[in-house]
Amino acid sequence: MSDDASSATDRDADTVLIAGTASHVGKSTLAAGLCRLLARRGVSVAPYKAQNMSNNARVALTPDGEWGEIGVSQHVQARAAETVPTTDTNPVLLKPRGGGESQIVVDGEAVANAPASAYYDEYWEEARDAAVTAHERLAADHDVIVAEGAGSVAEINLHDRDLANVECARFADARILIAVDIERGGAFASLYGTLELLPDDLRERVAGAVITKFRGDPEILEPGIDEIEDRTGVPIVGVVPHDDPGLPAEDSLSLPDGTSADSEGVLGADDGVPDDEAVRIGVPRLPRISNFTDLEPLAREPGVRVVYLPLDAALDGVDAVVLPGSKNTVDDLLALREAGFDAALRAFDGPVVGVCGGYQILGERLVDAGVEGTGDRETVPGVGLLPVETGFSTDKRVERVTCAVDGVGPIAGAEGEATGYEIRAGRTRLLDGKRGESTPTATEPLGAESVATDRTLGTYLHGLFETEGVRDAFVEAAFASAGRTRPDAAAVDRSPYDRAADLVADHVDLRAAGLGDLLGSPERVDD
């Protein structure tokens, strides 16, 4: 690849690349905040990530008008930018399957399962072409593109094939902001080393750096900032405080650690509701957990604690259970069984919801299991809470879905419509002879292939709890199970997108980075 700007494609939009010194340093938050800040100033802006690696996917429109998959961060950033998410915002998505292998998704469509070596040898050029073309389409339709890098921009072993950072900066002719997380320690050394290891042409594109996740008085950083600016010539254009705006998380690195019985992770405990007045919704931390952002709307409800449980945990301390999606349902089911979680579920008497892979796990059995899991198994018994079986094939359904709500079981009383998306490779059917038995069963309480009993619900609808009526009904069921009164809702806060925009507007000086031309009018415009 060329090392100069002559490799940049023709474009109409300006592109700024939010790169980082490492993974999980705040790139997604800065990108979402900048998208919303520009959008509320009247700038036409689109997010972009040339290549993402995540099992957390959302559905978006493809260039052909079909449905495809993108990483959740670009879906979130598109909402922040007040634009429709498309697969152009994340043209290449790698979804780890375990065993060193990933599913390769290009322009929203799964094209292969391959280890990293095969991806770079056989698919990388196709991936790069898709990324360039997607950027060109976005650039033709928008004024500004806010691109997000991946991991560290200074991974020297990958500089000749780093699609999300190096290649993106070149073909997008991007200016670069580098995010560095001070909470990890060694922020100045990390930034200095990153700048030293950049290819020369990328080093020239660096407009500034932003220190993220700072706790305390920023004045204490001034000597270090002065020194690093003198040594590198790169301005520190912002010190962003440690303040989580509540955006959906990008990947499982941000999940609370729940790998052992004494290390369960809890979300939602900072809402001001005493623990003895709250409910706990248990979520098994599946080894191959996917789309766990389905749980975040619950964690934002006052008095709700979403508790990520190790698989050997007891359920006597939780009031409801949600089984999340899985990238490999069969192997996660076997992991649950080995740890005894399936027996604990069968003994649990509170409401249970399974979403996608979690739904499949709750059924009577999985057939054609060798397609989904490892090994040559044909049939694997499920947990047995729902009278269904799931069969697997290589065909994959990816679609945005709106369905009627039949409020029964764990969502009793809910009505209207629910909107979400499906990403699955299995088909589930109600077993013959199961209608009308002593356990009441409702077919299609949430659209095709969903099933509910008096205490258990299974659905393929990701984003289920973003529908207020469904979320309220399930939260009410959890409080009823706990024998507690649900607290009054707290005052409505600003949206997480506006909170992220406020962090950028209040703590990052884009003009000091030479990026003031992106902002249009210098006056801040609030919603």
Structure tokens at 433: 């002879």
CA distances from 450 to 1, 22, 406, 422, 469 (A): 49, 41, 11, 12, 17
Question: Which helix or strand (DSSP H or E) is residue 112 part of?
Answer: strand 109-115
Task: Say which amino acid occupies 413.
Answer: G
CA distance 354 to 338: 19
Phi, psi angle pair for 484, to nearest 5°: -120, 160
Q: Is 391 exposed, middle or buried (0-12, 13-18, 19+ CB in 10 A)?
A: middle
- CB of 504 closer than 8 Å to CB of 33: yes
- β-pairing verdict for 352-355 and 379-381: unpaired
CA distance 527 to 523: 13
CA distance 105 to 116: 14
Structure tokens at 273: 């509701």
Strands across the sheet containing 304-309: 265-267, 304-309, 279-284, 320-323, 352-355, 456-459, 451-452, 442-443
Who contacts 36 (Cβ-Cβ below 8 Å, separation ≥6)? 80, 81, 82, 497, 498, 500, 501
Structure tokens at 343: 């027996």
Q: Which residues are catalytic?
A: 356, 462
- CB of 322 closer than 8 Å to CB of 359: no
CA distance 6 to 429: 56
End-to-end CA distance of the chain: 43
CA distances from 157 to 100, 152, 153, 162, 210 (A): 18, 11, 11, 9, 25
Q: 309 forms bridges with which residues in the sheet? A: 284
- The closest of 328, 152, 339 to 259, measured between CA atoms, is 339
**Radius of gyration (Cα) for the chain, nearest Å?**
24
CA distance 507 to 310: 38
